[in-house]
Amino acid sequence: MASKTVSADQGNPLGTLKNLWPYMWPSDRPDLKGRVVWATLFLLLSKVVLITVPYFFKWATDALNGELATPGWLPMALATPVLLVIAYNVVRLVQWGFNQLRDALFARVGQHAVRQLAYKTFVHMHELSLRFHLERRTGGLSRIIERGTKGIEIIVRFTILNTVPTLIEFALTAIIFGFAYGWTYVLVTAITVWLYIWFTIRASDWRIGIRRAMNDSDTDANTKAVDSLLNFETVKYFGNEDMESRRFDASMAGYERSATQVWTSLGWLNMGQGVIFGIGMMVMMVMSALAVQRGDQTIGDFVFINAMLMQLSVPLNFIGFVYREIRQGLADIEQMFELLDVEPEVRDAPDAASLDVKSGTIRFDNVSFSYDPARPILKGISFEVPAGKTIAIVGPSGAGKSTISRLLYRFYDIQSGSISVDGQDVSQVTQKSLRAAIGMVPQDTVLFNDTIAYNIRYGRVGASDEEVRKAAELAQISGFIESLPEGFESMVGERGLKLSGGEKQRVAIARTILKAPPILILDEATSALDTATEQEIQAALDFVSKGRTTLVIAHRLSTVVSADEIIVLKDGVIAERGRHAELLAQKGLYASMWDRQREATEAEEQLKRMREADEYGIFDRRRIADPDEA
């Protein structure tokens, strides 16, 4: 696979072709190079044969008119009108066959280029930082890539298969006109071609702006559609179907206007091209008709010139089409090339080695970090998670708790300080080896729209069915899965929406068990669950974290009472640290948070008991409202 970086070259098709050339002439694919050579050979043969087609038409016309002067190389026996007509059609078929062979041979080359660039873009998207993806809209991004790959195919195919052969045909036509009929014909042809190409380029450049506006509207409409469908339940909760429809229709209205302008402008472009070529053709046909009247040319010459011009009109018209398509293809891939030009925020160091995890000790040493320089998140944080121990990080919202897990995963690079695992700075090891050593159970588990087995096996893609079942059993979800009609092959739906919050969390735990990492991060893994489900999930989490270096990011303090150490963050600094009992004894921030959560839990449980009592009829609202009626 070519490793050359493709960069945007919006105004220079030759520059873009230069960047794309390694994909059309891949250094590691001699079979594709052979196809390019053979396709070029058939391309040249088809143009040589194409030039002979009008000659057979001319000879057949002169033979029918009794004016044929037989070429020396053509046997008299073949110089009959019928045989010349047959030869004319045979040569046309041969030329057409060469074109089809050319296209068939080049098809794999073009598709290989499309595949490699699409793959390069996909890989690049995964190399970009979390910040980039949080700021982008998925729907718009997918549309940009879709249009970009189509634009690449257009550029690759048209520049090689159409532009070069058309230039060859122009040259051959000019030579024939010059030597056979005089350079006046060449001059008229050159002026016609120049005016045609000049008008085509000017009009196509004008249409590119309209095309960009259409692309922007298309991207916006697709973004709104995908965003709305991903939030289907939220739309239903608030009954905002009409609002979503209006937003989508407003974007499509912009697309409608731009698309109408695109097709209208195409009509004006085609009309202008037709007028220019028609006038040029009329001038040359008048010149030939006058020559026939003078006796300087035969009827066959008149027919020959007409046939050559008609034949020339096809690639000439195609030059306009090719230019338009290449420019429109460039407009389509501009944003894709811009994506390829975005530099990953986090890169492996040039001499990065694989992380060697011996015990799994994590250390944050005076770490400072901010997403925005004007708003620091962590301010000189230092702590250690000893091998096999559990350290919990708690604190108010916005204190920087989840940021710590993202920094350990190296989704972002810190501004100062260091983060190490077993003494190895995470910025000096490969991201792949670092993330392979860490398991994550997040608060919001997002599943792939595939089977339960696929989502569990995502923790270790080579795991056997038995290992998947064992992981599910340890995560206490195997019973639920086996109760489903399709068992492990049951589909979970978009983002796992067919499963409850607790079921999704158990799937996340199962795939983490399957991954079997030495380091575990539990990022508020139970905060979105009800109390009963939380207690069930907590039991599974306790099992997973046993013997592993575990970092717990927690909102509910009841889940961290058994941690070896609890770190309390506030405003990006460590406000308190110690075990649960020690922190309660300090009567500080942790103790106040504990009291508030305990009161909320007690109120929730009391309300629950009242509802249960009401369900069984212990309380009768009518008696409370009117004792006499009772």
**Domain definitions of the chain by residue range:** 13-341, 362-437+517-611
pLDDT exceeds cutoff 80 at 13:
no
Q: What is the pLDDT of residue 627?
A: 42
Confidence band of 178 (pLDDT split at 50, 70, 90)? confident
Report how far residue 307's alpha carbon sits from residue 138's, in angstroms, rounded to the nearest whole number.
53
Highest mean pLDDT among 301-315, 414-428, 587-601: 414-428
Say if CB 490 and CB 452 are below 8 A apart.
yes
| Start-to-end Cα distance in the chain | 85
pLDDT exceeds cutoff 50 at 448:
yes
Question: Considering only CA atoms, which of 445, 509, 519, 523 is closest in space to residue 478?
Answer: 509
Q: What is the pLDDT of residue 11?
A: 47
Q: What is the pLDDT of residue 1?
A: 41
- Residue 508 one-letter amino acid: A
Report how far residue 36's alpha carbon sits from residue 582's, in angstroms, rounded to the nearest whole number.
75
* CA of residue 321 relative to chain centroid, distance: 27
DSSP assignment of 565-609, as one string?
EEEEEETTEEEEEE-HHHHHHHTSHHHHHHHHHHHHHHHHHHHHH
Report how far residue 483's alpha carbon sits from residue 478's, in angstroms, rounded to the nearest whole number.
9
DSSP assignment of 393-408, as one string?
EE-STTSSHHHHHHHH
pLDDT digits (tens, 9 = 90+) for 546-573: 888 999 888 878 888 888 999 999 888 9
Question: Considering only CA atoms, which of 589, 563, 558, 561 is closest in space to residue 576?
Answer: 589
Q: What is the pLDDT of residue 338?
A: 73
Reported pTM? 0.64
The sheet carrying 549-553 orders its strands as 438-442, 519-523, 549-553, 390-394, 565-570, 573-578
Neighbours of 391 (CB within 10 A): 20
Q: What is the pLDDT of residue 419?
A: 93
pLDDT digits (tens, 9 = 90+) for 28-69: 888 888 888 888 888 888 888 888 888 887 878 877 876 666
pLDDT digits (tens, 9 = 90+) for 374-414: 888 899 999 999 998 999 999 887 788 888 988 998 888 89
Report how far residue 109's alpha carbon sits from residue 117's, in angstroms, rounded to the nearest whole number.
12
> Residue 252 burial (CB < 10 Å; 0-12/13-18/19+)?
middle
CATH class for the domain made up of 362-437+517-611: alpha beta
Q: What is the pLDDT of residue 324?
A: 66
What average pLDDT does the segment 604-611 reach? 69
* Beta-bridge partners for 519: 438, 549
pLDDT digits (tens, 9 = 90+) for 218-265: 877 887 887 788 777 677 767 788 888 888 888 888 788 878 877 887
What average pLDDT does the segment 193-212 reach? 80
pLDDT digits (tens, 9 = 90+) for 452-477: 899 899 888 888 999 999 988 888 88
pLDDT exceeds cutoff 60 at 581:
yes
Neighbours of 107 (CB within 10 A): 14
The sheet carrying 375-385 orders its strands as 375-385, 362-372, 416-421, 424-425
pLDDT exceeds cutoff 60 at 5:
no
Q: What is the pLDDT of residue 134?
A: 66
Q: What is the pLDDT of residue 312?
A: 77
What average pLDDT does the segment 108-136 reach? 78
Residue 592 tokens read as: 């106040």
Say if CB 572 and CB 397 are below 8 A apart.
no
Q: 617 vs 539, 610, 621, 625, CA distance in Å?
A: 34, 10, 9, 15
pLDDT digits (tens, 9 = 90+) for 486-523: 888 988 876 666 788 778 888 888 888 888 889 988 88
Q: What is the pLDDT of residue 382?
A: 93
**Angle at Cα 234 formed by Cα 233 and Cα 240, nearest 5°?**
110
CA torsion sign for 192, 194, 197, 198 is negative
Asked if CATH classification 1.20.1560.10 holds for the domain at 13-341, the reply, yes or no, is: yes
User: Torsion over CA of 571, 572, 577 and 580, rounded to 10 degrees?
Assistant: 60
Confidence band of 628 (pLDDT split at 50, 70, 90)? very low
Report how far residue 47's alpha carbon sits from residue 52's, in angstroms, rounded to the nearest whole number.
9
Confidence band of 331 (pLDDT split at 50, 70, 90)? low
Report how far residue 99's alpha carbon sits from residue 106's, in angstroms, rounded to the nearest whole number.
11
> How does strand 549-553 pair with strand 390-394?
parallel
Weakest-pLDDT range from 17-21, 81-85, 117-121, 258-262: 17-21
